[in-house]
Amino acid sequence: MTFCGLQTLSLVDFPGKVAATVFTGGCNLRCPYCHNARLVIAPAEEQERYKEQEILAFLSSRRGLLDGVVLSGGEPLLHEGLSDFAARVKSMGFAVKLDTNGCYPQRLRALLETGSIDYVAMDIKNSLSKYPLTVGVMDFDTAPVEESAALLMDGPTDYEFRTTLVRELHTQADLLSIAQWLNGARRYFFQNFADSGELIGSGLHGFSPDEMRTFAEAVRPFCGEVSLRGVD
């Protein structure tokens, strides 16, 4: 595999673990609030490149210092070599976390069945009726996303769902619709939108801390754990 980014140390991307994060390029979605727009839309020749052996050599040098590795993007499940790479990382003694948009349930299932993935964070973009608008794909079919969510909820692999909240895209009614869809989910996190300066869209804003807390309280009866990220 070839990677387009490496964060050598993170204390927040893998719950309970000190981790490194590797980023794949390319995504099937065009979410206007995506904070990694360069990984999604920039031509391959304009992106930073790391060879798989470079990443593995770095990780080998961090044995005993890092607990885990996050596979992020872009959308990692676009890449056929992901399963083999995850297995190599796992064999080095690291826990492995996958970040995914849930659009490839068959690939997700196959990867989970290898036993190389310890934790999955799946993005829930919005209520099902507003998915096309939110992901920037007007003919988007939500069926694969629904299948991935059900796969995680019914399976043994530890997981979380998470939604990045954007004032122009989300309402409390949307979040209640999501919570009813994901009723019984183990964990559901809200992340407040922050402009990274590298977005696909423009003119977007987050919510106030009090608004975020109100949203969390509204959906808390539906999920095992509901928490906020990016809120002071």
- What pLDDT digit, counting tens, does each position of 126-159 carry? 999 999 999 999 999 999 999 999 999 999 999 9
Find the mean pLDDT for residues 148-175.
98
Whole-angstrom distance, CA of residue 97 vs CA of residue 120: 6
Answer whether 74's CB lies under 8 Å from 50's CB: no
Distances (CA, A) of 81 to 84, 95, 149: 6, 18, 23
Exposed / middle / buried, residue 45 (Cβ in 10 Å: 0-12, 13-18, 19+): exposed
Whole-angstrom distance, CA of residue 15 vs CA of residue 18: 8
Give 121's strand partners. 99, 160
Distances (CA, A) of 169 to 113, 121, 200, 201: 35, 21, 14, 12
pLDDT at residue number 116: 98
Nearest to 71 by CA among 82, 87, 84: 82
* Band of pLDDT at residue 75, cut at 50, 70 and 90: very high
pLDDT (tens digit, 9 = 90+) per residue, 30-70? 999 998 888 887 655 566 789 999 999 999 999 999 999 99
How many percent of the chain have pLDDT more than 70?
97
pLDDT at residue number 47: 67
Query: Considering Cα of 222, then 17, then 210, then 146, what sign does the dihedral take?
Result: negative
pLDDT at residue number 46: 61
* Band of pLDDT at residue 203, cut at 50, 70 and 90: very high
177-212 CB burial, b ≥16 within 10 A, e <16: bbbebbeebebbbbbbbeeeeebbeeebebbeeeeb
Q: What is the CATH number of domain 2-229?
A: 3.20.20.70
pLDDT at residue number 199: 85
pLDDT at residue number 105: 98
pLDDT at residue number 231: 82
Q: Where are the domains of the chain?
A: 2-229
pLDDT at residue number 2: 82
166: Cβ–Cβ under 8 A, 6 or more apart, which residues?
A: 33, 193, 204, 205, 206
Find the mean pLDDT for residues 94-119.
98
